[in-house]
Structures are given as structure tokens and as C-alpha cells.
Amino acid sequence: MYKEIVSGKEKVAVVGLGYVGLPLALEFAKKVDVIGVDVNEGHVAKLWRGEDPNGELGSDSFLDRKISFTTNPAELKGAKFIIIAVPTPVDKYNKPDLKPLLTATKSVGKYLKKGDYVVYESTVYPGCTEEECVPLLEQMSGLKCGPDFKVGYSPERINPGDLEHSLQNTIKIVSGCDDESLEEIAKTYELVVKAGVHRAPAMKVAEAAKIIENTQRDVNIALMNELSILFNRMNINTYDVLNAAGTKWNFMKFSPGLVGGHCIGVDPYYLVHKAAELKYHTQMVASGRFVNDSMGGYIAKQTVKRILAGGKASLENLRVLVMGVTYKENVSDIRNSKVSDIVNELVSYNIDVDVIDPKADAHEVLEEYNIQIQKEPVGLYHAVIVAVSHKEYVGLSADEFRKLLMPGGLLVDVRGIYRSLSKEFKYWSL
């Protein structure tokens, strides 16, 4: 397979051209022929025009690439190495929603041929590829995994908005259903990952590795969030503590904050789900989720309490400005953003909340959260909550906040980026 791909006899296909699939497809397309498949017609039209629907990549990323885009899965007949990078969200009960993954698997299975390779990149619980995807591929194709076609799992590690760590310079974990496929898959990914690949001994291992990378972050951030709730009661600034503790060589640098998005805030639920099936309660993992999911409401309540504390303001006619609504800094992605929890909690007190964000798409925010983003702040506010540390917000001066805050107004610094202004205003950070 590898030789046929490199010689141009066979093609690579990427199914799902989002944050993960598109950069990967374009990277392969520098070297080999690629077919990009996505169900979203609007996205595919943009891709043909050299536009990234998510706004992450510039038009130069599309130049001189051997790639075609389609919504028609039948075109997969022309590919031998098929990568699946579709979403793996949770449902409203925080249970894995495998619908997109299984739908994509069905489409791929329908056109699967002898000798094909299917590699999953979507984040799943350990065992999912073998237990859910392989049987469906076999059923749809009438072929047998192993003798007829091969399957692998290679998790993506990209970090949107991060210009330092890329697909090319981050070691990629690869795995296969047998030794032969592991080697072929490894060589194929080595075409695009300069940092090289790590050959995991089984697909389950690669799945587990990906999910614990994000679970480890989630649990550690939850610990910082819990400590920040405690330090708040003790009148200690958490960041002062972290700066002091961080001087020890083995203190790990995590900080409190909102955990949203489609990875860290979601993947641990996949692990919790699988553990429950095996009659094991992953208490550390689940409690990390509990703490992090509670932070939006906590920030809102602290804000209200502190505005009212001086006795000068009453709940009626309170105005709050929330700066930043994306799930993290310097991205336009709003999926599973916990800023909406802050807004909803404030609104539940009948507080008048204005929201601004330099990156988020106003239509998407309205559709997803029923929150109307304003172009600009209007008038003065009892509190300003800087929820996301977009580069446009980092380094804002005391004068800029003075233009936004009523006399005696409160600056809520969720990410602790304005600590130098803590004496200028009523100030609170996590």
C-alpha cells in the first residue's frame, strides 16, 4: 500500500475536513494524491475556493496541493488509504455520541475494496475502533478485517491556535490491527510527520493514550480550580501561590480556568462511559469533570456577590460586560464554550449582560447559545469579566478598563492576566 501511494498509483482519502482532517489532508497533498470528503456542502464549496471554513489556515495552505474535495463518498472507490476524522461529541447526558463516526464508517465500508486501509483519527474510548467500527466496516463491505482490509488508529494531537506545536513537529502515535498494517501505516504517516511516529503495540493502546492526554489535563486543571475556590475563601490569590510553588523543579504548571471545547471537556466522558460498562467508577476522572463543568456558574455567582458586596448596587439594573466567548484564546471555535454558563447564570439573576469577542462568529453564537454578540461595549458596566485571554485583550491598560467600568466597578480576570491592575479597581481572579 505505502509504495503504491508514494508512486502515485493509489490515493489517500480524508473523511471529515474539519480542524483535524483538513490540515492533515493538505499536508498529505504536498506529497501524494488526496481526496477530501466531507458531508457539509458549504464547507466543500469553500475548500474548492481555497478557504478554510474554520478560518485556521490561510489560502496559501491550499497552493500546489494534489487534492480534490467532494461530498460524494462514492469517490472513496479511488482511494486506498482512508483516514476518518469526524467529530466524536457527547450527547446531552454526556454520553458518547458515535453517530458521526458510525455514519462515516458506513460510507467508507460501502466502498471498501480488498487491500484498503482505514485509519481512525477521531478521539474515542479504548476498544471503540475494534468493537464498533471494524464490525460495521465488515458488514458494509462483506470483507474481513485482516485478510481483506486493514484498520488502524492514529490520534490527532493538534492544539488549535497553537503556532508552536504542529502536525509536522509533534510525534504521532500510530497503531494497526496487525504487524504488517502497523508498519505500512507508520511509513505512510512518516511522509507528513517530520518529528516521526510512535508505533503503539495495539489500537486500544493508541486510543487510551490519546484519551489520557486530555484526561490528565482535565484532572489537573480541575485540581487548580478546586484550589482556587478554596484560596478564594482564604483570601489568597491563586496565581501568587502558583508562582511561588512553580519555583520547585517538579511542580507542574497548570492554572485554573474554564474547560470547554470538543476535546478536554469531552474526552474524559468517553473514558467514564467505558469504565461504567466494565463496572468501574472512575472517580478522579468524573470529579475532574464535575469541578470543571461547575466553574462558569461559580464565576458568575462570585461576580454578583462582589458587585453587591459594597452595598452600593442592587440586583436591579446591573450591567455586566463579558469579554470573550470562544472556548479558548485566539480561536474562533465556540463549541462547548463554558462562557455561556457565565452568561446564563448572570441572566438568571435578570442582569443585563453584553458580550463581545474579536474572534467568534456572531451568527454561530446566536444559533448555538442564543447569545447576541455586540460589536462594541455600550456605556459603563458594574463589572467586566474577561473570560478568554485573546491576544487582543492581553495587555489592556487600566485606562481602557476605566472607560468600561462604573466608579467602583469590578474587574473579573478569569485567566489572571491583569494582576498588575489589581490595585486600580475592585478586582477578582480565579
Ligand X SMILES: NC(=O)c1ccc[n+]([C@@H]2O[C@H](COP(=O)([O-])OP(=O)(O)OC[C@H]3O[C@@H](n4cnc5c(N)ncnc54)[C@H](O)[C@@H]3O)[C@@H](O)[C@H]2O)c1
Which residues have a catalytic role annotated?
263
User: DSSP string spanning 345-363?
Assistant: HHHHTT-EEEEE-SSS-HH
| 400-404 CB contacts, 8 Å cutoff, 24+ apart | 401/425, 404/321, 404/377, 404/380
Alpha-carbon distance values, 399 to 307, 377, 403, 404, 419 (Å): 20, 15, 6, 9, 15
Determine the Cα–Cα distance for residues 397 and 425; give it in Å rounded to an integer.
12
- Residue placing its CB nearer to ligand X in the complex, 98 or 186: 98
Among 2, 13, 14, 16, binds ligand X (CB under 6 A): 16
H or E element, residue 167: none
Nearest approach, Cβ of 19 to ligand X (angstroms)?
Answer: 3
**Do the Cβ atoms of 307 and 383 come closer than 8 Å?**
yes
Q: Does 19 bind ligand X (CB under 6 A)?
A: yes
Alpha-carbon distance values, 246 to 139, 220, 243 (Å): 54, 14, 5
Nearest approach, Cβ of 300 to ligand X (angstroms)?
Answer: 27
Among 50, 78, 100, 358, binds ligand X (CB under 6 A): 100
Per-residue binder mask for ligand X (CB under 6 A), 120-149, x = binder: -xxx--------------------------
Nearest approach, Cβ of 100 to ligand X (angstroms)?
Answer: 4
Among 1, 12, 14, 21, binds ligand X (CB under 6 A): 21
- Residue placing its CB nearer to ligand X in the complex, 107 or 326: 107
* Phi, psi values for residue 223, rounded to 5°: -60, -45
Among 104, 133, 134, 411, binds ligand X (CB under 6 A): 104
**Do the Cβ atoms of 167 and 175 come closer than 8 Å?**
no
Q: Does 200 bind ligand X (CB under 6 A)?
A: no
Among 5, 12, 13, 17, binds ligand X (CB under 6 A): 17
Determine the Cα–Cα distance for residues 43 and 70; give it in Å rounded to an integer.
10
- Residue placing its CB nearer to ligand X in the complex, 17 or 318: 17
**Do the Cβ atoms of 373 and 356 come closer than 8 Å?**
yes
Exposure string of 277-291, with b = 16+ CB inside 10 Å and e = fewer, is: eeeeebeebbebbeb
Joined together, the cell numbers standing for residue 347 give: 441572566
- Residue placing its CB nearer to ligand X in the complex, 123 or 292: 123
Q: How many residues bind ligand X (CB under 6 A)?
A: 28
Alpha-carbon distance values, 35 to 72, 74, 106, 256, 285 (Å): 10, 11, 18, 42, 38
Nearest approach, Cβ of 221 to ligand X (angstroms)?
Answer: 16
Full strand arrangement of the beta sheet holding 319-323? 352-356, 319-323, 381-386, 405-413, 426-429
Nearest approach, Cβ of 229 to ligand X (angstroms)?
Answer: 28
Instruction: Give me the residues paired with residue 295 across strands.
Output: none
- CB-based closest residue to ligand X: 18
Q: Which of residues 43-62 bind ligand X (CB under 6 A)?
A: 43
Among 68, 70, 103, 422, binds ligand X (CB under 6 A): 103
Q: Does 37 bind ligand X (CB under 6 A)?
A: yes
Among 18, 96, 152, 409, binds ligand X (CB under 6 A): 18
Joined together, the cell numbers standing for residue 91 give: 450527547
Among 38, 52, 207, 413, binds ligand X (CB under 6 A): 38
First to last CA, the chain: 53
Per-residue binder mask for ligand X (CB under 6 A), 255-294, x = binder: -------xx-------------------------------
Among 23, 36, 96, 160, binds ligand X (CB under 6 A): 160
Q: Does 88 bind ligand X (CB under 6 A)?
A: yes
Binding site for ligand X (CB under 6 A): 15-21, 37-40, 43, 85-88, 100, 103-104, 107, 121-123, 156, 158, 160, 262-263
